C-alpha cells in the first residue's frame, strides 16, 4: 500500500465482488475513498469453484478501485462465508492459585492459554475465539472474574471454524492478481459491525444478511457474539425459480426488484407485466401475483432455515430487538414484512451507517455494501497492528501485558478436591504471542492457524471428558468441542 492509513477490503460473493478502500478521518470515523462492484462467476455458495473466473473479476475490481482512490492496491482484508463456516463451543476451567486473595490476572491468563492451545480438526482452522461469560465455582456468573472469591474459574468459548480449502482458494485468487491477503474475517461478523447499534448488541438481535448464494446469521446478546451460521441459500434460489416462469436470465433480477414483492397478497390479481423474449413473438405476459407467489415461497424457505438457526443458537427468545435484515436482497419489496410474519419478531432493514463520515454514508446507502463496510471497519482496527507489507507487531493491552509480567514461583498444590482437572504444566503453555483486543476478536491472517481472543464473558456446564481424538499434545488438558445441538468436531 502506498499510504499506511488506507485500508482495502474485498467482499467476494456468489454473484458479485465488492472492493472498498477507506481511510480514518480526523474524528476517528471511516471515510470511504472508493467502492467498486463487479459481477463474478465461479463462486458457488461462497466457495470458489473456478479460479480463473474469480481472478478476472477481482483484477478488474481492484484496478478500478485503486484508480478511484488514487493508490496502487497490493494488500487487502477479505471476508468469507458459506456452509463451511460453523460454530463450536468448548468449556474449560482452572483452579485459582490463591483462593483467599481471589482470582488473579495470572489465573485468567491460564484459562485463556488453555483455550488457545486447543486444536481444530486437520481440515479446519479456528478463525475466532469468543468467551461468553465467566463462572466462579460453577454457581456464580460474573462479568469480570478478577478479584472474585472462589476456588475454580471456568468459561465456555464460542469458536468460529472454517474449512482450510476455501481459505486457501481465496488466498490463491488474490495472489493471482498481485494482492496480499492480510487477514480473513467471517463475513457474518463483519456485517454486524456495520449495521448494529450498541443497544441492539446489548439487548439481543439477529443480523440476517441475504446474499446471492449464502444467507449469513449472526446473533448478538449482552454485547457478545453468541452464534454465527451460514445458510447455503440466497437470492440465486429465488432468481432460479423466476426463470422457470419463462423469464430470460438477463431480465430476472430487474424484474424481481422493480415489480416483485415478497408478500403476494399485496399484489393485484389482475395486473400483468410483459416480458421481452428473444423475438417479439416470444414476448409474454406474466401475472404479477404469480411472480410474487414464487418469490414469497422461496423466501419463506430461507426464513424457515433462519428460524432453525435461531433455535439452535439458544437465543431465539432473547432477541429484544428482533432481526436486522441487510444484504442485496433486503431491497426486495415487503421482505421485512414477510420476515416479521415468518419469525414473529420485529424486523428492520439496515444500511451500513456505523462509524462512517456523513459523506461516506451517502456512498454506501444500500444494504448491499454492509459486508464490505464491516470488513473495512475490522481491517482498520487490525491495521493499527498489521500494516501492509510489514511484520505483525505485538500490541500491549491489559491482557497481553499479563504475559510480560514476571511469573510467580510455582505454588504448592492445594488439598485435592473431588475429581480435579489436571492443570497444564508451565512448559505446556503456548509461548506464541497473539494480539488481544476487548470485545472485538482479532482478524485471523490466513497464514496463521491460531489466534487469541480476549473478549469477555461466558458459561456452560463442567466440561465432559473426551476420549481419544485429534487434539495433539494438548489431549491431556482439553475436552471435546460441543457445538450447539451437541454437534462435535
pLDDT in tens, 370-427: 999 999 999 888 744 333 333 333 333 343 333 334 344 344 444 444 444 444 444 4
Residue 3 has pLDDT above 70, yes or no: no
- Percent of all residues in the chain with a pLDDT value above 70, rounded to a whole number: 76
Mean pLDDT, residues 447-464 taken together = 39
Residue 366's φ and ψ, nearest 5 degrees, are -160, 130
Q: How far apart are the first and last CA of the chain?
A: 39
- 440 pLDDT band, cuts 50/70/90, is very low
- Percent of all residues in the chain with a pLDDT value above 90, rounded to a whole number: 63
Residue 62 to residue 68: CA distance in whole angstroms: 10
pLDDT tens-digit readout, 161-185? 999 999 999 999 999 999 999 999 9
pLDDT at residue number 327:
94
Q: pTM here?
A: 0.75
Average pLDDT, the chain: 81
Residue 154 to residue 298: CA distance in whole angstroms: 44
pLDDT at residue number 279:
65
Q: Which residues contact 47 (CB under 8 A, 6 or more apart)?
A: 82, 84, 166, 169
pLDDT at residue number 280:
61
Residue 15 to residue 13: CA distance in whole angstroms: 6
pLDDT at residue number 269:
87
Residue 323's φ and ψ, nearest 5 degrees, are -120, 140
Residue 42 has pLDDT above 90, yes or no: yes
Q: Which residues contact 146 (CB under 8 A, 6 or more apart)?
A: 102, 103, 104, 105, 108
Q: What angle do CA 273, 276, 277 make, to 5 degrees?
A: 135
pLDDT at residue number 455:
40
pLDDT at residue number 246:
85
Cα atoms in the Cβ-side hemisphere of radius 13 Å centred on 84:
17
> Sheet containing 30-39: which strands, arranged edge to edge?
30-39, 16-24, 6-12, 75-80, 180-186
CB 474 within 8 A of CB 468: no
* Length of the chain, in residues: 489
Neighbours of 275 (CB within 10 A): 18
pLDDT at residue number 281:
67
pLDDT tens-digit readout, 273-313? 888 766 666 778 889 999 999 999 999 999 999 999 999 99
Residue 173 to residue 12: CA distance in whole angstroms: 11
Residue 343 has pLDDT above 90, yes or no: yes
Residue 11 has pLDDT above 50, yes or no: yes
Burial of 184 (0-12, 13-18, 19+ CB in 10 A): buried
CB 352 within 8 A of CB 195: yes
CB burial readout 43-78, b (16+ within 10 A) else e:
bebbbbeeeeebbbbbbbbbbbbbeebebebebbbb
Mean pLDDT, residues 456-477 taken together = 40
Query: Which carries the bigger pLDDT value, residue 194 or residue 465?
Result: 194
pLDDT at residue number 32:
94
Query: Which carries the bigger pLDDT value, residue 441 or residue 354?
Result: 354
Residue 208 has pLDDT above 50, yes or no: yes
Using the Cα atoms of residue 133, residue 138, residue 139 and residue 140 in order, give the sign of their dihedral. negative
Q: Which residue has the cell 433480477?
A: 253
Mean pLDDT, residues 457-486 taken together = 42
> Which three cell numbers mark 55?
481472478
Q: Between helices 249-259 and 235-243, what is the axis angle to 10°?
A: 110
Amino acid at each position: 500500500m502506498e499510504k499506511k492509513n488506507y485500508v482495502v477490503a474485498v467482499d467476494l460473493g456468489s454473484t458479485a465482488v465488492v472492493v472498498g478502500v477507506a481511510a480514518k478521518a480526523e474524528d476517528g470515523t471511516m471515510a470511504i475513498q472508493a467502492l467498486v462492484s463487479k459481477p463474478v462467476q465461479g463462486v458457488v455458495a461462497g466457495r470458489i469453484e473456478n479460479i480463473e473466473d474469480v481472478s478476472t473479476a477481482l483484477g478488474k475490481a481492484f484496478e478500478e478501485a485503486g484508480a478511484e482512490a488514487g493508490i496502487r492496491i497490493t494488500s487487502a482484508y477479505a471476508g468469507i462465508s458459506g456452509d463451511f463456516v460453523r460454530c463450536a463451543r468448548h468449556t474449560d476451567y482452572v483452579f485459582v492459585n490463591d483462593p483467599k486473595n481471589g482470582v488473579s490476572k495470572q489465573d485468567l491468563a491460564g484459562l485463556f492459554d488453555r483455550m488457545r492451545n486447543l486444536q481444530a480438526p486437520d481440515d479446519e482452522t479456528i478463525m475466532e475465539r469468543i468467551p461468553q461469560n465467566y463462572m466462579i465455582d460453577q454457581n456464580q456468573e460474573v462479568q469480570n472474574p478478577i478479584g472474585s472469591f472462589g476456588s475454580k474459574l471456568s468459561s465456555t468459548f464460542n469458536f468460529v471454524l472454517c474449512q482450510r480449502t476455501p481459505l486457501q482458494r481465496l488466498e490463491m485468487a488474490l495472489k493471482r492478481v498481485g494482492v496480499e491477503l492480510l487477514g480473513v474475517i467471517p463475513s457474518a461478523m463483519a456485517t454486524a459491525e456495520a449495521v448494529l447499534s450498541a443497544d441492539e448488541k446489548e439487548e439481543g438481535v439477529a443480523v440476517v444478511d441475504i446474499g446471492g448464494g449464502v444467507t449469513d446469521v449472526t446473533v448478538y446478546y449482552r454485547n457478545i457474539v453468541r452464534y454465527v451460521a451460514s445458510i447455503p441459500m440466497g437470492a440465486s434460489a429465488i432468481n432460479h425459480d423466476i426463470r422457470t416462469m419463462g423469464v430470460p436470465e438477463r431480465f430476472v433480477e430487474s424484474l424481481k426488484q422493480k415489480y416483485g414483492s415478497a408478500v403476494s397478497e399485496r399484489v393485484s390479481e389482475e395486473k400483468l407485466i410483459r416480458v421481452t423474449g428473444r423475438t417479439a413473438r416470444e414476448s409474454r405476459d406474466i401475472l404479477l401475483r404469480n411472480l410474487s407467489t414464487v418469490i414469497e415461497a422461496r423466501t419463506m424457505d430461507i426464513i424457515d432455515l433462519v428460524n432453525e438457526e435461531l433455535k439452535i443458537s439458544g437465543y431465539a427468545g432473547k432477541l429484544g430487538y428482533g432481526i436486522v435484515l441487510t444484504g442485496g436482497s433486503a431491497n426486495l419489496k415487503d421482505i421485512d414484512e414477510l420476515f416479521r410474519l415468518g419469525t414473529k419478531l420485529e424486523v428492520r432493514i439496515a444500511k451500513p451507517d456505523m462509524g462512517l463520515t456523513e459523506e461516506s454514508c451517502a456512498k454506501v446507502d444500500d444494504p448491499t455494501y454492509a459486508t464490505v463496510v464491516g470488513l473495512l471497519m475490522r481491517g482498520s482496527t487490525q491495521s493499527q497492528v498489521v500494516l501492509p507489507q510489514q511484520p505483525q507487531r505485538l500490541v500491549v493491552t491489559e491482557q497481553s501485558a499479563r504475559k510480560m509480567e514476571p511469573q510467580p514461583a510455582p505454588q504448592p498444590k492445594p488439598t485435592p478436591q473431588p475429581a480435579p482437572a489436571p492443570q497444564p504444566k508451565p512448559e505446556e503453555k503456548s509461548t506464541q504471542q497473539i494480539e488481544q483486543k476487548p470485545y472485538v476478536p482479532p482478524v485471523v491472517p490466513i497464514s496463521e492457524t491460531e489466534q487469541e481472543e480476549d473478549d469477555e464473558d461466558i458459561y456452560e456446564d463442567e466440561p465432559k471428558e473426551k476420549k481419544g481424538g485429534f487434539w495433539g499434545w494438548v489431549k491431556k488438558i482439553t475436552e471435546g468441542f460441543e457445538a450447539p445441538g451437541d454437534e462435535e468436531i
